[in-house]
Every structure is written in structure tokens, then in C-alpha cells.
Amino acid sequence: MRYAHYVSGAFRSDGDPFPVTDPTSGRSAGTAPAASEALVDSAVTAAREALHGPWGATGTEERARVLHRIADGIEARFAEFAEAEAADTGRPREFAETVDVPRAIRNFRAYADLLTGRPERAYTTPATGGGSGDGGVLNYAVRRPLGVVAVIAPWNLPLLLMSWKVAPALAAGNAVVAKPSEETPGTATLLAEVVDAAGLPPGVFNLVHGHGQGGAGEFLTSHPGVDGIAFTGASATGTAIMRAAADHLTPVSFELGGKNAALVFADADLDAAVAGTARSSFTHSGQICLCTERVYVQRPVFEEFVAALGRKAAALGGYGPMISAAHRSKVLSYYRLAVEEGATVVSGGGVPRFGDGRDEGFYVEPTVLTGLPQTARTVREEIFGPVCHVAPFDTEEEAVRLANDSPYGLAATVWTKDLSRAHRVAPRVEAGVVWVNCWNVRDLRTPFGGVKASGIGREGGEHSLDFFSEPVNVCVGI
Ligand code: NAD
């Protein structure tokens, strides 16, 4: 796998090499170059120059064509992207083929279509005698790109989440400097190759590799030439980036961590709730920000639910590893902590043995816990692994209170057949997205983001275009 920076239309591999590891086997997958502060500075400068060149004058139709060309380019190299995404993350290749790569293609196409259908606004104001002329004034608002935007992506859905930001940023006419996670530099490099082949002017899209704190991420987010930062990652990193951004009052859009709740009412279709919670807790081994880690089940069906979910977890096969040895250690430390805190381990709780090369990889068992108080660290802190804690509740009021008793507020799931209850409960749950009787179904036009420690701002459809551009009011005396 080739890992390279892409700056001002040229691929480069300068910078101290850092190791990239295959999480399925623990073996080396090569090295990637870490961008120096000077290289990040050249990327920001190249992006600024691109805005002063022809890119700054492109219209929406031309930018939409560019986005479709990028989507075509990913489509043409679909198998390579799927292989690289599976290699980067260790997830089953089928997941990359059915989720990551198709969604990256859709991200570019969706913003191309949205862009050309977007209305501009005009307002007429009658004459007021305030020097506006006999005919009053005509106001209109035009949207102008932010300028140079930094895109910082995490390792858990590397291609999907990076393209989810790069597509609207380019659609809105910005120039981009993107940094993938140091754990997953593969598909980002392929994306740069596709952008290069799509014929974008040099500097419109730049890619730098490296670490966050003390590395390319920090160089980028503290750079005075960056006009906006779109970041997905951990909440603590969001705090660090916001501190860096504060020096230059750089606007931020943050998609951060979660400790997502599922509420299962006694009137729910229990089979669907169990299957849905198994999916929401264990998909991609729990390494999706939207995964459920707290499950609250109404008391009459609590025992039955726990037993069924435990059986599902124990029967799971074909799952992927944790992204790294360090992340596996973190997840296992929570498995130990849960027991110290007094949890009952219903299923899992350790490291699986496969009897093959995967035993050197970074796998952990899908785990179901019960018996902890709401104050336990295991119930409050994001673990980001295939684990959930199940606790009982009695009343609807209590269910809402428990769901909201968290510093996070990214996503929640409500399982009930009672329509009125669903509509009563959903808006009261403090989360950016609440699913009822389903999980992780995404329409790309809908607002996406978190409340509390789970994020700032919304992405998705118009909401991303709103972040990546600023309305300017032009007022003409007529
Ligand atoms: P992370 O915060 O450790 O890293 C994310 C990115 O930020 C990486 O590219 C990293 O190099 C960079 N970074 C780290 N420190 C930085 C700094 N000081 N300055 C600039 N950049 C810095 O997150 P991760 O471990 O890669 O991803 C997992 C986290 O992301 C989880 O908390 C998960 O919930 C969250 N996440 C949230 C969403 C969402 O949509 N809300 C989606 C996916 C992941």
C-alpha cells in the first residue's frame, strides 16, 4: 500500500516515517510519512493560492461536474478502495464493499446534486426614506465559501467520514487540506489519486498524513491560514482543537464521541429489539460513533431481553478487530473495570481464540454486562468497543431520565410499538438523532450531529453546505 501526501497537485513522501499496522494480524502494513509543520504550511498556502486562481471563480455547475468526476473515479477503482479500507481498518471486506465505498461515492454525488438545486434568497424592502432611493432596496444573500478548510478524520469510518466533509467543502467552493487518522492512511491516499485524475487545479485538495497532537493535526488546526475546521473524533480531541482554533477565532464543526442509549419498552417487538440492539452494539465491533453502549429495558421483559442478547453476542462470528493494540488495551481495561465495579458478565468479557493468525490481531469478544449503577465509569465513559451494559427501568419518565443522564448526546434508539409513546419519548431524549424501531438508517439530507459533549453544529445535506459557506447580504438601493 502506498501512503503519500498530496500537496499543490504533487504526491510527496517526505517526513519522518511512522508505522502502520494490520489490526487483523498485528503485522506491519508499512510506514507512512508524517508531515512536518513546513509541509502543512505549504498545503495551506497551496490551498489559499488555489482560491485565488480559477477554482475561486468556478460556478456551481462546474463544481458539481467535478464532484461527479471524483465519484466516477472512486467507482472505477471500487475494488482497490474496498481492499484498502478493509486493510486500513481490519473490518470484513464485505462491510467496505457494501457500506464505506458506496457511501463515499454517494457523498460526492449527493452534494453535486444538492449544489445545483440550491435556491438563493432575495428580499425586497419598500422605500423608507432612509436614503434607499425611490424604490426602496433589494436585498439578496449570496453564499461565499469559508476559504481554506481543514478536514480531520478519525480511523473508524475513514473514507466515509472524510468524503462526508470533503464533498460539501468542495461543493461550497472551498480549498481543502485533509488529514486522515494516523491509523488509517490508505484510502485517503487513494482519494487523493482520484482527485488528481479528476483534474482539479493544484491546491484545491491537499492531503497530509501524521499524528494529531504535536503532529500534522495540530499544525493544521492551529494554522492562522485555516478558515474553518471540520473534525470528527473524540470529545477530548475536540476540546484541544477548539483551544487551538480559539487563537484565530476559526469556526469549527465537530462530530464527537457518544455513549448512546437504547430504550426498550415492554410493548416492543422483542425479537426486533434484541436483533436491533445486537446490531447497534456490535456492528464494526462497536467502533461506530452511533453504536449503543447503554441499554435500558423495561422490567417485565428485562430478564428475557438480557438472556436473548447474551445468546446473540455469544453466537456472533466474522467480526473485525479493534483498530490497534492500544485501543484493544483500552477496551479490555474497561472489561476489567466493569468487573471491579461489580458487573455481571452475561457474555464475552475477554479475548477470543481463533487458532489462526487472528490470535495475533487485536480482537476482543462482544460483551454484554448487567448489574452496574448509573454512576459506574463503565456506564458513563465511551468505550468504543463491542460492549453494552443493560439495566432495567420501570416507567417512561425514568427511561428518559436515564437516557439523558450522560455527558454525551449523539444518538439514541427507542424500541416500542406504541406510536404515541414513540413520539412522546423521541423529542425528549437529549441526542442529535433518535431512531425508533430501527438503527443507523441514514438519509444523507437529514441533519446529523450531537448535543452536549457529542458535537457542535450539524452536518448532512444543506447543513454541511451551511457550515462550509457564509451568507453575504448585498443591499441595493433601487
Ligand atoms: P481521535 O480524536 O483520537 O482522532 C481523530 C483525528 O484527530 C485523527 O486524525 C487524529 O490524528 C486527530 N487529532 C488527534 N489529536 C489532535 C489534535 N490535538 N489536534 C488536531 N488533530 C488531532 O479519534 P479517533 O480515536 O480517531 O476516533 C474515535 C472517536 O471518534 C470516538 O470518540 C468516536 O465516538 C468519535 N467519532 C465520532 C463520530 C461522530 O459522527 N460524532 C464519528 C466517528 C467517530
Instruction: Report residue 343 CA to chain centroid gap.
Output: 30
Ligand 1 contact, 226 CB (< 6 A): no
pLDDT of residue 88: 94
pLDDT of residue 126: 79
Query: Angle at CA 412, nearest 5°, toward 345 and 297?
Result: 45
Hey, what's the cell of 76?
472505477
CA of 280 to the centre of ligand 1 (A): 20
Query: Is a pLDDT exceeding 80 seen at residue 86?
Result: yes
* Residues near 383 by beta carbon (within 8 Å), at least 6 away in sequence: 286, 293, 330, 331, 334
Ligand 1 contact, 155 CB (< 6 A): yes
- For the segment 462-477, the average pLDDT, to the nearest whole number, is 94
Hey, what's the cell of 45?
498556502
Q: Which of 273, 289, 293 is nearest to 386 (CA)?
A: 293
Q: Which of 165, 158, 154, 293 is nearest to 235 (CA)?
A: 154
Ligand 1 contact, 210 CB (< 6 A): no
pLDDT of residue 1: 82
Ligand 1 contact, 385 CB (< 6 A): no
% of the chain beyond a pLDDT of 70: 99
Atom of ligand 1 nearest to the CA of 234: 32
Residue with the bigger pLDDT between 206 and 131: it is 206
CA of 232 to the centre of ligand 1 (A): 5
pLDDT of residue 455: 98
Query: Is a pLDDT exceeding 90 seen at residue 36?
Result: yes
pLDDT in tens, 233-242: 999 999 999 9
- For the segment 453-477, the average pLDDT, to the nearest whole number, is 95
CA of 300 to the centre of ligand 1 (A): 39
Ligand 1 contact, 35 CB (< 6 A): no
Q: Which band of pLDDT confidence, cut at 50, 70 and 90, is reported for residue 358?
A: very high
Calpha distance 36→155 (Å, rounded):
21
Domain 5-256+454-477 has CATH 3.40.50.1370: no
Judge contact between 253 and 221, C-beta under 8 A. no
CB burial of residue 405 (10 Å; 0-12, 13-18, 19+): middle
Ligand 1 contact, 211 CB (< 6 A): yes
CB count within 10 Å of CB 139 equals: 14
Looking up cell 462530530 gives 255
- For the segment 246-254, the average pLDDT, to the nearest whole number, is 97
- For the segment 56-65, the average pLDDT, to the nearest whole number, is 95
Looking up cell 481495561 gives 333
CB burial of residue 40 (10 Å; 0-12, 13-18, 19+): buried
CA of 81 to the centre of ligand 1 (A): 22
- For the segment 101-122, the average pLDDT, to the nearest whole number, is 91
Q: Which of 207, 222, 237 to mutate to test the pocket of ligand 1 (most atoms within 8 A of CB)?
A: 237
193 belongs to the catalytic site? no
Hey, what's the cell of 388?
453494552
Ligand 1 contact, 20 CB (< 6 A): no
- For the segment 58-62, the average pLDDT, to the nearest whole number, is 94
Q: Which band of pLDDT confidence, cut at 50, 70 and 90, is reported for residue 60?
A: very high
Q: Which band of pLDDT confidence, cut at 50, 70 and 90, is reported for residue 467?
A: very high
- For the segment 471-475, the average pLDDT, to the nearest whole number, is 93
CA of 411 to the centre of ligand 1 (A): 17
293 belongs to the catalytic site? no
User: What average pLDDT does the structure give for the chain?
Assistant: 96
Q: Which stretch of DSSP H or E encloses residue 325?
A: helix 325-340
% of the chain beyond a pLDDT of 90: 94
pLDDT of residue 477: 87
The residue annotated as part of the active site, out of 255, 341, 430, 459, is 255
Q: Which of 158, 168, 22, 155 is nearest to 106 (CA)?
A: 168
CA of 181 to the centre of ligand 1 (A): 8
DSSP codes, 229-290: EEEES-HHHHHHHHHHHHTTT--EEEE----EEEEE-TTS-HHHHHHHHHHHHHGGGG-STT
CA of 141 to the centre of ligand 1 (A): 35
CB burial of residue 266 (10 Å; 0-12, 13-18, 19+): middle
Ligand 1 contact, 451 CB (< 6 A): no
Atom of ligand 1 nearest to the CA of 155: 26
Looking up cell 447497534 gives 280
Mode of pairing for the β-strands spanning 17-21 and 28-33 = antiparallel
Calpha distance 427→434 (Å, rounded):
8
CATH value of 260-443 in 3.40.309.10, 3.10.129.10, 3.60.70.12, 3.40.50.280: 3.40.309.10
Q: How far, CA to CA in Å, does 93 sit from each of 49, 85, 99, 100, 284?
A: 39, 8, 10, 10, 11
The residue annotated as part of the active site, out of 49, 83, 183, 289, is 289
Closest Cα to atom 20 of ligand 1: 217
pLDDT in tens, 139-171: 999 899 999 999 999 999 999 999 999 999 999
Judge contact between 323 and 284, C-beta under 8 A. no
- For the segment 424-428, the average pLDDT, to the nearest whole number, is 98
Ligand 1 contact, 88 CB (< 6 A): no
pTM: 0.96
Query: Is a pLDDT exceeding 70 seen at residue 256?
Result: yes
Where do the domains of the chain lie? 5-256+454-477, 260-443
Query: Is a pLDDT exceeding 80 seen at residue 131?
Result: no
pLDDT in tens, 310-354: 999 999 999 999 999 999 999 999 999 999 999 999 999 999 999
